[in-house]
Structures are given as structure tokens and as C-alpha cells.
Chains A and B, each alone.
Chain A
Amino acid sequence: MDIILIFISAAIVNNFVLSYFLGICPFLGVSNKTESALNMGLATTFVMTLTAAATWPVWTYVLVKFNIPFTQYVAFIIIIAALVQFVEMFLRKSSPDIYRAMGIYLPLITTNCAVLGLALFMVLRNYNYVQSIFFGFGTGVGFTLAMLMMSGIREELEFADVPPVFQGISITLIIAGMMALAFMGFAGLIRG
């Protein structure tokens, strides 16, 4: 039961992008086309799930056991960087088109604050291993959801009559604000 709660909490109620404002740069940068937004979301979900799966053992069996929790940022960043590198190799081999469409935003997952934020929240909230994996996966799903909604709206926006001063990034940020406002409706449904 608590696994489902953690998943829904991470994906919708406490959505990392729209409630915590983490991982905004790909949210604005890669959301102009639904296809690349979906691929970015999937890649980030993959990295997030693996991050949760890899950082939890390192945290529990290395950092806590040897009493060196002060190295957590370094350890987590190294793990995240290695995972992103792996995703990049994998994508380059399996689908070069997606690799090209994501461009610089793919390596930027390394410093995506949502991914590090996920690892830190996981430690802070004392999740066990299964909970951590579902937390990571839920966060990724929430990120993908936000990306998809944004890209859908932005694609429709191409045909809308936007006043000249709002065109481009300003209307995008206004929409992001409205989406965050809409997600405020979920606030408080689930704790944590």
C-alpha cells in the first residue's frame, strides 16, 4: 500500500517539476515537440530508476556502514554521471535519431537537479530498497507526464494567435506557471 502511495505521490501530487520546480531546464528546453519530449522523459525515467536502484545500496552499505555520509553528493553525482553516460552510449547505438533530437539535453541529465534531488529525498525519508525504486520510477513518470503535457500545449500553441510580446519563451513560462497552479490542486492529498 505504501509503495503505491509513494509512487502516486512522486508522480502526481508532489510532482518534481510542477511542485518542487526541479529539473526545469529540459522541461523548457526539450518540450517543443511531443516526440522528443517523450524520449527525454523516458531517458530521464530510466536514469532516475537506475539512480534510485544504485544509490540506495551505496548509501546503505558503503556510506552509512563506514560512517562517511559527508561524501554523499560526490558519490551520488558519480553514479548519476556514469548512468547518463551509459544511457548516451545505449541511445547512440540503438536509435541515433533520438540521440540527435535530444542533443545537449541528454548529457545535461547528469546535472539535472531532479535526479540528484531524488537521491537526496530518498536518503532523507529513510525509504527501504523497494520503496526507493518505486520512488525513483514514480518521479520519472511524473517528469515524463509534465514534459508530455507541456509539449502538447506548446504544439497547439503553434496555431494560436499569441500577442507578439508574449511569443517564444515568455508564453512558455506563463503556461508552466499555470500548470504549476493546476497541480497545486493536488497539494496535501498525500503527505511526503
Chain B
Amino acid sequence: MTGDIVVISVASMGGIGAALSLFLAYADKKFKVEEDPRIEGVLQILPNSNCGGCGQAGCRMFAEAVLVGKVPITGCVAGGQAVVDGLAKLLGVEAQKANKIVAVVLCHGGEKEALKTGIYKGEKTCVAANFTSGEKACSYSCIGYGDCVEACKWDAMAMNDNGLPVVFHDACIGCGACARACPRFIIEMHPIEHKLFNYCRNKDKGAVARKVCKVSCVACTLCVKDCPQEGGIDMIENLAVLNYEKCLQDTDAPIKRCPTKCLLYGEEEKMTKAFYYASLKKPAA
């Protein structure tokens, strides 16, 4: 009797399994999806790092989108000129100039500049520390535990001896992972042509901002007056905000009278990987 039950259960389970697999085999034939054979070709050109810098959910998604023309061939920020050329050749469209985008850390309030009013003993990550106000008195500043450096897969960032992240201008491929990792949104992605930046995000009034940090934007509006293009720099919420469409970035005139030197020109392109590691070996006098 026991043997019967074993045979019956094995047979019924097998029968159910066989019936369902027949059904699925039929459905697979019926609902077969034809894939564009060019996807593989595009994938061979792409970096295949799935960095997400293009805004798609990975290189495969980008490949599918670029084939139907949803995104331009310059959409892959990580690939640079080589990928754009390769895609142009493969898809038979005109070659274009690649957009080079780099990350810019918009806070210069490091250990030396920012006032510290708190002691933080929790988990040493920016996301965790952001639930408190962190160690620095400025609640807009870089927290300094390096979530962005951790997020960078390209070895294009480091924490310097002043407790601030630096972006290596030559190594950054513009994927934007660091900008997404920063809980205070002080990292922005900018085209390589942008040279003038306000390295402060403190929206407090000038007197308050000045107390918490030596390099804060105090909203004095001198740069607004000194910008050669009308409307190139606006004062919004006690911050000098650059209007990159109007401000031509061809001169460092606006930064000359900046009292706290939070507005700087051409600072980013100095910081290459080689320059940074050379400066580590020979401490500046």
C-alpha cells in the first residue's frame, strides 16, 4: 500500500510537471521575441560598466534606446570620443563631438576653513551623519566622510588632507555616481567648458554664513556687478548662482573682488590625478 502511494505521487507530480512544461514550450514558441541583432554590436562599443551616467538602467538599455533613436549617440558620458565615433560608424550617422562632463564639488569648507561645533561619534558615512547636523556648524557643507569617493568606481576621487573630496579632472568620466551619493547635493555635474564656480552652497544670510566658514558666499553681489555679461551671475537665496547660458566663462573678472574667495575660476582643470599624487609627496610650503 505504501508503495502504491509513492508510485501515485511520483506519477501525478511528474504528470503535472510534464503537462506544464509542454504548455510553456508551446508558449515560448508562440511569444518569441525578436531582438535587434545590432544590440550586440553596440554593446561591444560601449564601456559595459553599467555606470548609469547616461540616465538609462545600464549599457544594454542604452544600446536599445540608441538604436531606436531615443537617446543621442553622444549620450554615453563615460565612453568619450571613442564610443561616439564607434557608434556613428556602426549606425551610419554623422560623427559628433562627445560631451565631456565632470563632477564638481561645490564646497571648499574643509578642516581648515569651516567652524566645528559638534562632535559626531556615529557611523562614519555622510548619509548617516546627515541625520544629525554633523560636526561642522554649516548645515550645507561637505560632511567629509567620503561617500562620494566610495561611490566612484573609476578611481577619480580622493579625500584630501583638508577633509574634502577632490575630483581628478582627467580621470572623471562623468557618470554622476558621486553626485547621487552625496546627501547634501553639493556635487554637480558640469560640462568641461564650465570654468567659473561658486564653491559654496550656504543659503544663510551673509553674516551667518561668514561666522561658520571662512570661504562661504556672503552674498555681497560684487561678482554680479563684475560679470561682463548682463545676468551672467544672479543672487538667489543669498548665493551667487551662475547662469551658464549667459555667463561666457571667458574671463576671471568676477572673482577678483570676491571677499571670501569662494568664487574661483579655472580651479577644476588644475586637479589632475598626477597633480594630486605629486602634491601628496611634497607638502606645500
Show the binding face of A for B, using Cβ within 8 Å: 58, 62-63, 66-68, 70-71, 74-75, 78-79, 82, 85-86, 89-90, 92-93, 96, 100, 164-165
Nearest-Cβ distance from residue B35 to partner chain A, whole angstroms: 10
Distance between Cα atoms of A100 and B64 in the complex (Å): 12
Flag if B31 contacts A92 (CB, 8 Å): yes
* Minimum Cβ distance to chain B for residue A107 (Å): 14
Chain A residues whose C-beta falls within 8 Å of the C-beta of B57 in the assembled complex:
100
* Complex interface: chain A residues within 8 A of B24 (CB): 82, 85-86, 89
B23 contacts which of A68, A86, A164 (Cβ < 8 Å)? A86
Whether the pair A66, B12 counts as a contact (CB closer than 8 A) is yes
**CA gap between A92 and B20 in the complex, in Å:** 19
Interchain CB contact (< 8 A) of B8 among A58, A66, A96: A66
A164 CA / B183 CA spacing, docked (Å): 11
9 CB-based A-B contacts, threshold 8 Å: A66-B9, A67-B5, A71-B9, A71-B12, A74-B13, A89-B31, A100-B57, A100-B61, A164-B130
Pairwise interchain contact A68-B9, C-beta atoms closer than 8 A: yes
What chain B residues lie within 8 Å of A68 (beta carbons)? 5, 8-9, 12
Give chain B's interface secondary structure class. helix
B285 within 8 A of A: no
Chain A binding surface SS class: helix
CB-nearest residue of chain A relative to B61? A100
* Pairwise interchain contact B31-A79, C-beta atoms closer than 8 A: no
Known: A62-B12, A90-B31, A96-B33. 4 other contacts (CB 8 A): A70-B9, A79-B16, A82-B20, A82-B23
Interface members, chain B 3-42 (any A CB < 8 Å): 5, 8-9, 12-13, 15-17, 20-21, 23-24, 27-28, 31-33
List, in ascending order, chain B residues with CB within 8 A of A58's CB: 16
Q: Which residues from B are CB-within-8-Å of A89?
A: 24, 27-28, 31
Q: Please name all residues of chain B whose beta carbon is closer than 8 Å to the beta carbon of A78 when the two chains form the complex.
A: 13, 16-17, 20
Nearest chain A CB to B18's CB is how many angstroms away?
Answer: 11
A66 cross-chain contacts in B, Cβ below 8 A:
8-9, 12
The residue in chain B whose Cβ has the minimal distance to the Cβ of A54 is: B20
Query: A71 to chain B: which residues have CB within 8 Å?
Result: 9, 12-13
Residues of A within 8 A of B20 (CB): 78-79, 82
Which of B5, B12, B24 is packed against the most chain A CB atoms within 10 Å?
Answer: B12
Residue of chain B at shortest CB distance from A58:
B16
Q: Which B residues touch A100, using CB under 8 A?
A: 57, 61
Distance in Å from the Cβ of B97 to the closest Cβ of chain A? Answer: 31
Q: Are B33 and A93 in contact (CB under 8 A)?
A: yes
A82 to B23, CA, bound (A): 9
Residues of A within 8 Å of B16, CB to CB, are: 58, 62, 75, 78-79
- B275 within 8 A of partner (CB): no
Assess whether B31 is in contact with A93, with CB atoms less than 8 Å apart: yes
Closest to A87 in B: B27
CB neighbours (8 Å) of A63 from chain B are 12
List A contacts of B131 (CB < 8 A).
164-165
A93 contacts which chain B residues (CB < 8 A)? Answer: 31-33
Residues of A within 8 A of B31 (CB): 89-90, 92-93
Which residue of chain B has the shortest Cβ distance to A88 in the bound complex?
B31
> In the complex, what distance in Å separates the CA atom of A164 from the CA atom of B28?
48
Instruction: Name the residue on B nearest A99 (C-beta).
Output: B33
| Cα-based distance from A90 to B32 in the complex (angstroms) | 9
Closest to A83 in B: B20
**Which residues of chain A come closer than 8 Å to B33, judged between CB atoms?**
92-93, 96
Which residues of B56-88 are within 8 A (CB) of A? 57, 61
CB distance from A9 to the nearest CB of B (A): 29
